[in-house]
Amino acid sequence: MTFESRSDSVYHAARIGQIQIESITGNGFDSANAVQMEITNSSPNPVRIVVPQGTMFEQQNWNGNQNLVVKEDVWIDIQPGQSGTFPLPAFCANSTGGSPNSDPMNLTPFVFHDMGESFRDQDSMWRTTDSQRNVRMR
């Protein structure tokens, strides 16, 4: 895992105030809309940002449900003053714990990097994450 460093990432855009994250909801895993992220472009210019593969989302309040990892790059184009809700495909980060069920989530500055075939499917992600540590990210 590394800290997000891309200047075109959603994390960077939120950090510098280019966009406002209104809400992030986790709902399931291994689906095209496991994460729903509502953002507003608070800048005077059109914004093109990416949610990079490996972006980590954590439970806003720990409830025993899993954190999520974005499984592929998702590009977002948003006009000045525009708001939108964007679906993100994601895997669960651990094989234990419940599936997110309309759980409020936080964007983290962490990006999980592929260890071979981590992003092939949910089982591959679990094999990678569960073999890398004995504790859960909280």
The band of 135, judged by pLDDT with boundaries at 50, 70 and 90, is: very low
Domain boundaries, the chain: 2-132
In this prediction, residue 1 has a pLDDT band, given cuts at 50, 70 and 90, of: confident
Q: Are the CB atoms for 26 and 65 separated by under 8 Å?
A: yes
CA distance 25 to 60: 9
Q: With 60 as the cut, is the pLDDT of residue 138 above it?
A: no
Residue 126 banded pLDDT, cuts 50, 70, 90: confident
Identity of residue 138: R
Distance CA 111, CA 113 (A): 6
Q: Is the pTM of this model over 0.95?
A: no
Q: Which two tokens stand for residue 77?
A: 């184009």
Residue-wise pLDDT tens digits, 59-111: 999 888 999 999 999 999 999 999 999 999 999 987 888 899 999 999 999 99
Is residue 134 scored above 50 in pLDDT?
no
Mean pLDDT of the chain: 90
CB 42 within 8 A of CB 17: yes
* Range name among 28-37, 46-55, 77-86 with the lowest pLDDT average: 28-37
List beta partners, residue 67: none
